[in-house]
Chains A and B, each alone.
Chain A
Amino acid sequence: MSIRDVLHEEEIPGGKHWSFTVGRGTLLRLVDIEGGANVGMLFYNPANLLERYNAPDTLKGQHTFRLSAGHCLYSDMGRVFCSIVEDTAGWHDTVCGNTTRAMVAARWGVKSYQEHRNDWTQNGRDSFLVEGAKYGLGRRDLAANVNWFSRVRTEADGSLVFDGGAAEPGAHVTLRFEMDTLVLLHTCPHPLNPANDYPRKPVLLRFGKADPVAADDACLTSRPENGRGFANNHFHHLCG
């Protein structure tokens, strides 16, 4: 699948953060340029910031622990922020949260801005706090985030296993936004990444325009729950 008419493209270096608002009908492809990237992401309704990405509703509504193509990402209001229309990675985490300042210091050591300038070692939690604050969001507004490109599976006893072996350069996942959405993101390492050195993996963001959602759309029809989620979006857009 290619994105026709690329509207915008930018690269976010590893260990950084950014945010933007996208309109309904936007495609966003994330490309793991070198392999082994992690993209922490949170979603909010810009018209009502109390409506936000809800990982439990997303997982239980689709009977899944991993995120991949065909899945929809739900808000706490029963609506679909975006659908995963394409995925070459096969498994994305949404239950492990973020690195924190203390975690980065303990695992990889402190690289201060004073000494290292923009090669400092930032963390996922502070990244979300900075980006959220641009829109009036604070500590109380953070939620369980997606970690794109990070595969965390479970053993039979429920133990978590970070599986970095499947990461491939050029892996990509494409999101189709089903409503206007505020996106907060960071490219800080996954909190279970066992690398010896602070991983600093860039990602490419490519924006395009989506075709209208067809009646036989793979995300719409992947589960009956998603048909009802899209119906909730339809009513939301009727009401403006």
Chain B
Amino acid sequence: MIKESPLSPDHAAHRETVPAGAYWMHPVCKGQVFRIVDLEGNQAADTLFYSADDPAERYSAVDTIREQRNVYLGVGTKLISTDGNPMLEIVADTVGRHDTLGGACSPESNTVRYALDKKCMHACRDSYLLAVTENDQFGLTKRDITHNINFFMNVPVTPEGGLTFADGVSGPGKYVEMRAEMDVIVLISNCPQLNNPCNAYNPTPIEVLIWDAA
């Protein structure tokens, strides 16, 4: 479902561009609205959420899809924590649907998926590991790197149980927006993957915006 947001970027409390291959780790408070913009199109934003009060409580892909009885994320999806609590709700989306089955790329999974000699190419999980290590005030480590959301990515499941990686349903300027239902820490790896079409073989910047509660 496509639903546009009434919010204007001119009134955002925070606005920042995140280059491909970089991470963005930032708190979002309960009631604030958080948007990710796919500036140039076909860019995967690999995203994790942690409860700010208790980071051991974090986004859970399996609890989210089971509770909504659907594998795709879109408007109305409540992003559920490992403790069964709603962390954020998707309130606007100009893409249509987002993936949470495919996980994040890593040097190790690149060796399996593409070739053994791809191991030294930059990957999302390296960005995550640098993020949690550089920002140790949050108390996160590799233990906390879990199954993420791939905003803007299209991973169709077939009725026969297959998984396919289709070209993006996203495009330049498309966005997804969510309202925080608890204080969260957002961790995004703006995906550097060069080996598959998730970024159209050309990783590009995203923009993140935060609006204060109305």
Contacts and interface: CB of A to CB of B under 8 A. Distances in A.
B162 interface: yes
**Considering the complex of A and B, which 4 residue pairs feature the smallest CB-CB distances, nearest first?**
A56-B103, A78-B108, A97-B62, A66-B161
Contact of B60 (A97, A141, A192): A97
A96 interface: yes
A5 B103 CA distance: 39
A57 B161 contact: no
Contacts of A57: 103, 106, 109, 112
A78 B147 contact: no
Given A55-B147, A76-B108, A144-B62, A65 B103 contact: no
Given A56-B103, A144-B147, A229-B112, 9 more contacts: A54-B109, A55-B147, A60-B102, A60-B109, A60-B163, A78-B112, A95-B101, A96-B62, A138-B56
A141 B111 CA distance: 24
A141 B143 contact: yes
Given A55-B147, A192-B66, A232 B112 contact: yes
Interface stretch (B3-11, B69-77, B173-181): B69-77
Interface of A: 50, 54-57, 59-61, 63-66, 74, 76-79, 91, 95-97, 100, 102-103, 138-145, 153-160, 191-192, 225-226, 228-229, 231-232
A56 B101 contact: yes
A160 B12 CA distance: 37
B157 A158 contact: yes
Interface residues of B, number: 44
8 contacts: A57-B112, A63-B162, A140-B56, A140-B143, A141-B143, A144-B61, A154-B157, A231-B116
B56 A77 contact: no
Contact of A63 (B57, B108, B164): B164
Contacts, number: 131
B147 A143 contact: yes
Contacts of A77: 108
Nearest to B155: A60
A85 to B, nearest CB: 19
Contacts of B165: 60, 63
A100 B158 CA distance: 28
B162 A142 contact: no
Interface in B73-122: 82, 84, 97, 101-104, 106-109, 111-113, 115-116
A97 B142 CA distance: 21
Contact of B161 (A65, A97, A100, A158): A65
Nearest to B71: A158
A64 B63 contact: no
B32 interface: no
B195 interface: no
B202 interface: no
A139 to B, nearest CB: 5
